[in-house]
Structure 1
Amino acid sequence: MIIVFDAQCLLCSGWVRFLLARPAGGQIRFASIQGATGRRLLAQAGLNPDNLQTLLVIDGNRSWQETAAILRVLDALGWPWKLAWLGWIAPAPLRDAAYRWFARNRYRLFGRSEVCMLPQPQDAARFLD
């Protein structure tokens, strides 16, 4: 599983740090939208890396965006995070509307770093750029 994320977004970087701290997240790899691999993966999914408003999760030949991406990742973490599947009960248009609002306002609400998140040496192999 590959997660393409905004490495300058403090919320997104926090999400990545959360996943790195979970033992079950060891199979997850990361690519930032600021790197060549992340930009290539976004383009393959038909997304504009210069105006990205979603998280992209790629697992094999399938990909997910917005709340579906988050739910897929939490499922991969195992219990108790699998309970997030209850989120599928809410209609996708409502879940994704809330997601898009947070995505549009993420820098204002959570902040932005002028430099991209750098992984710790022990996690560096999990980052594709």
Structure 2
Amino acid sequence: MFDGECNFCDKSVQFIIKRDPKGYYNFASLQSNIGQELLKKYKLYSNLESFFLIEHDKAYEKSTAALRITKNLSGYWKLLYPLILVPVPFRNWLYRIIAKNRYKWFGKKDQCVIPSPEIRKRFID
């Protein structure tokens, strides 16, 4: 789940899609009905400064979610996964810096981009 209004978040989703040829990951905006339902189901708090990964019925957030995603990407990106061994407080400190400045650095969307039908199947409504 990701912030659907954030340019950086949208680019991150596009990055994942491009490097996930097996279609392992599906996506939902935090602002969507399903996003809100999943937040409640997994008892997650979101002020839109995080994104979440739900994998094998377990929820992950912030840097842990990002690093867990890398292990299933094609190419050298999976080499980032061992950074999961870095203590969570340090990883999330860096994550929060990016999250707090993402609108300032990357902008905010006024409207959603309409993906191709093939890509649209990867988004949960």
TM-score normalised by length of structure 2:
0.89
Question: More helix by proportion, 1 or 2?
Answer: 1
2:59 partner SS = strand
Q: Is this contact kept in 2: 1:10–1:107, CA < 8 A?
A: yes
CA distance in 2, matches of 1:79, 1:66: 22
Unaligned ranges ≥5, structure 1: none
CA distance in 2, matches of 1:48, 1:95: 19
Is 1:107 aligned to 2:119, yes or no? Answer: no
Letter in 2 for 1:69: A
1:63 partner SS = strand
Identity of aligned residues (%): 34
Match of 2:53 among 49, 52, 57: 57
Q: Is this contact kept in 1: 2:20–2:74, CA < 8 A?
A: no
Is 1:21 aligned to 2:18, yes or no? Answer: yes
CA distance in 2, matches of 1:68, 1:99: 10
2:10 partner SS = helix
Question: More strand by proportion, 1 or 2?
Answer: 1
CA distance in 2, matches of 1:109, 1:54: 16
Unaligned ranges ≥5, structure 2: none
The two structures, once aligned, show a CA RMSD in angstroms of: 1.7
Q: Is this contact kept in 2: 1:8–1:117, CA < 8 A?
A: no
2:121 partner SS = helix
Q: What does the per-residue CA deviation read over 1:63-117, in whole Å, with 9 as the maximum and x for residues that have no partner?
A: 1101110111010114422210231242211110110121122111111001234
Partner residue in 2 for 1:31: 28
The offset of 1:52, in angstroms, is: 2.1
CA distance in 2, matches of 1:68, 1:7: 20
Q: Cα gap change, 1:122/1:5 in structure 2, threshold over 3 Å: closer, same or farther?
A: same
